[in-house]
Amino acid sequence: MNASLRLRAGLVSIVLLAAFLGIWHLATRSTGTVATMSPEYAKLMGLTATQDKSAMPGPLDVGAKLWEHLRRPFYDNGPNDKGLGIQLGYSIARVGTGYFLAVLVAIPLGFLIGMSPLLSKALDPFIQVLKPISPLAWMPLALYTIKDSSISAIFVIFICSIWPMLLNTVFGVASVRKEWINVARTLEVGTFRRAFTVILPAAAPTILTGMRISIGIAWLVIVAAEMLVGGTGIGYFVWNEWNNLSITNVIIAILLIGVVGMLLDQILARFTRMVTFPE
């Protein structure tokens, strides 16, 4: 029953993909009609003008180019021509560093705030103001103070991934069931042991959910941040290829951004499943 549902869903997915690729192909193919124009102009404009070829690449162009990229993901021909693997690597490293630093700050801090009603109330106004700030708004300030574009990008990732983790940790810790806390209290379990044996496991699913939201946001933000700071990374690649008017490469980059984002999300989803307990 379940297997057959999955099979049918898979089939529908494939049909939808095929339909999408088909329409894409039809919409972008060259019709072969030759417009009357001066030969110089025709030469300048290439197939777009002469055979009414759409400026938009078709799925076959993208596929061929993608294959080319996948065969040589790590080549490095100087600052403006690096393999996609290298560019993605830079982005993932920045996201990883900023995110990891955010985890180190958000989870202990969230624990403190969640366990202390005083801190919770005292810090609430700051969090409320800081949380809605677009992470990119920090960029000029970061560039001015840090004076290093790559570290500034990491800082922006740090700032954008800290809030969901912090708020979820606070919420998870503060809403641990009273009866579980009471169990620990009647067993005279000390604060420290209580934090690790009761509060952490009880809040873990909520914390991990926050971490999952954060990694998603971090991956969204890194593309924009790298477009701003330039140099390396998949965001810079997209911007650079747009300046080169290579729509094919832009499409490939979009596709890869999606795939990497999905993988990051799946990793966190797996961790979340590991700490989730049935009640």
Partner 1 sequence: MTGKFISIEGIAKRYPGAGGSTTAVFENLWLSMARGEFCCVIGHSGCGKTTVLNILAGLDAPSEGAVIVDGQAISGTSLDRAVIFQSHALLPWRTVLGNVGYAVSSKWRSWDRAKVRAHAQTFIDLVGLTGSEHKRPSELSGGMKQRVGIARALSITPKMMLMDEPFSALDALTRGTLQDEVRRICLETGQTAFMITHDVDEAIYLADKIFLMTNGPGAVLAEVVENPLPRDRGRTDLHRHPLYYALRNHIIDFLVTRSKSFTAEKPDHDPRNVPVVHIGKPGLTIASGSDEQRQTWIPGTSPGLTA
Query: Minimum Å distance from CB 129 to partner 1?
Result: 32
In this structure, what token pair is assigned to residue 102? 């955010």
Query: Minimum Å distance from CB 28 to partner 1?
Result: 54
Measured from the CB atom, the residue of 93 and 181 that comes closer to partner 1 is 181
Query: Minimum Å distance from CB 194 to partner 1?
Result: 10
* C-alpha separations of 274 from 69, 173, 201, 204, 277 in Å: 35, 18, 11, 10, 8
| Distance of alpha carbon 212 from alpha carbon 249, whole angstroms | 29
Please name the amino acid found at residue 6: R
Query: Minimum Å distance from CB 189 to partner 1?
Result: 5
Alpha helices in the chain (DSSP H): 2-28, 39-45, 47-50, 59-71, 84-115, 117-130, 139-146, 149-174, 178-186, 191-194, 200-229, 234-243, 247-275
Given a contact cutoff of 8 angstroms between Cβ atoms, the answer to whether 167 and 111 are in contact is no
Measured from the CB atom, the residue of 24 and 180 that comes closer to partner 1 is 180
Measured from the CB atom, the residue of 8 and 193 that comes closer to partner 1 is 193
Measured from the CB atom, the residue of 180 and 242 that comes closer to partner 1 is 180
Query: Minimum Å distance from CB 177 to partner 1?
Result: 8
In this structure, what token pair is assigned to residue 39? 């030969």
Given a contact cutoff of 8 angstroms between Cβ atoms, the answer to whether 98 and 155 are in contact is yes
- Residues near partner 1 (CB under 8 A) are 177, 179-180, 182-183, 185-189, 197-198, 201-202, 277-279
Measured from the CB atom, the residue of 137 and 183 that comes closer to partner 1 is 183
